[in-house]
Chains A and B, each alone.
Chain A
Amino acid sequence: MLPLIGLLIGIGLGLAFRVPVPAWMARYLGIALLAALDSALGGLRATLDGRFDEKVFVGGFFVNTSFAALIVYVGDNLGIELYLAAVVAFGVRVFQNLALIRRHLFGELAE
């Protein structure tokens, strides 16, 4: 319940404060958000599995988001669409995590 409240507070803050994002940064922020979402869902899944490690989660959350943006930056400078590689990798993980969370929740409901 608390994570859901956190998400709603974040959305509320985003709506309340107009934070300008320069156009050149939008691409990096987009991929960083996908990485952050992947980490957050991974954390939720680990919690449901009873093996959540806060050091691993906090480290992974910030390292993944920074590294995702860095990959896009490096790709832009090398002229390679590394952006796509990051989108596919994180996209697949997001869906895997969602599937595991869904199974876990349905399993609990069935019991």
Chain B
Amino acid sequence: MSPGARVWRTQFILAFALMLVGFGFVIQMRSHERLSERLESEGEADLVEIIDELNGDIEGIRGELLNERIKLMEFRDSNVDGQAMLTRTSEEIVELTKFVGETDVTGPGVTIEIVNADNLLVGLDIRQIVEELRASGAWAISINNHRLAHSAGIWRSDGKLYLDSRELDSDLRIEALGPPMLLAQAITLPRGIRDKLETLRGVEVTVREESSVRLQRVAKAGGKRLTEPVDNTIKQ
């Protein structure tokens, strides 16, 4: 090989190596930026989600109130005897207390165990699991034995995960009541939430369908309540 050709060959090999280095540096920098942005924006995303949930709750309560008013009008206008109406209302109250977490509940469901060895999970990851479960028919959910109320806050602060101000262990156990197969499929769907979380280092997600899961009632939050109920007696 002539000296000129040797120089070109050397230069070409070095150019190729540096091209790989340049390409690698850019994709590494971009992925690092994305990760930082995600962690920094977590607080803001939390607020947006909480406000969104509160708006949803308000709409739900308005709907419930309207239904109850319609029932009251129907009761006034009909000849249904008072005892039958009382029984029906009591049954509805029992169902509602189960739904909002006022009583212990048991039934078929799923158990999701999440190993979070490097503590990389953020509040958004857990909220996505909860949303997937709710969308698939879960009517009661608990995380590390803490039952979720209808509007629970899950966030990360100073490297720790919190559920309604309670610190959670980095490894998580989520239990949900509902149709077991549907709930399990919602999590294990290809390219779904499990696949997404398992791209994080040290994260492993195991989902088990259970014939019976028992969840405790929502623990009462400590501290002084910021609001007090007003007299809501219906004026006849």
Known contacts A43-B17, A57-B13; decide if A23 and B25 are in contact (CB<8 Å): no
Residue numbers in A under 8 Å from B201 (CB-CB): 23-25, 27
Minimum CB–CB distance from A50 to chain B (whole Å) comes to 10
A52–B7 alpha-carbon span in the complex (Å): 10
Contact residue among B13, B21, B23 (Cβ-Cβ distance under 8 Å from A54): B13
Q: In whole angstroms, what is the CA distance A26 to B28 when docked?
A: 7
A40–B17 touching, CB < 8 Å:
yes
State whether A11 touches B23 (Cβ < 8 A).
Answer: yes
**Stretch of B29-37, B49-57, B174-182 that contacts chain A:** B29-37
Please determine whether B10 and A33 come into contact, CB atoms closer than 8 angstroms: no
Chain A residue nearest to B202 in the complex (CB): A24
Q: Contact mask A16-48 → B, CB, 8 Å, 1/0?
A: 001111111111011011001101100110010
A2, B14: Cβ atoms under 8 Å? yes
A102 to chain B, nearest CB (A): 17
B69 smallest CB distance to A (angstroms): 51
The answer to the question of A109 belonging to the interface, with a C-beta cut-off of 8 Å to chain B, is: no
Contact A9 B22 (CB under 8 A): yes
B24 near A6: Cβ-Cβ < 8 Å? no
Interface of A: prevailing SS: helix
Residues of B within 8 A of A21 (CB): 27-28, 30-31
- The answer, yes or no, to whether A7 is at the interface (CB within 8 Å) is yes
Residue of A nearest to B27 (CB): A19
Q: Tell me, in angstroms, the Cα distance from A37 to B22 when the chains sit together.
A: 9
B65 CB within 8 Å of chain A: no
Given A14-B27, A26-B28, A33-B28: A43 and B20 within 8 A (CB)?
A: no
Chain B residues with CB under 8 Å of A8's CB are: 22
Q: A14-B23, A14-B27, A47-B14 are in contact. List 12 more A-B contacts (CB 8 A).
A: A2-B11, A2-B14, A2-B15, A8-B22, A10-B18, A13-B26, A22-B200, A23-B200, A40-B18, A40-B21, A44-B14, A57-B17
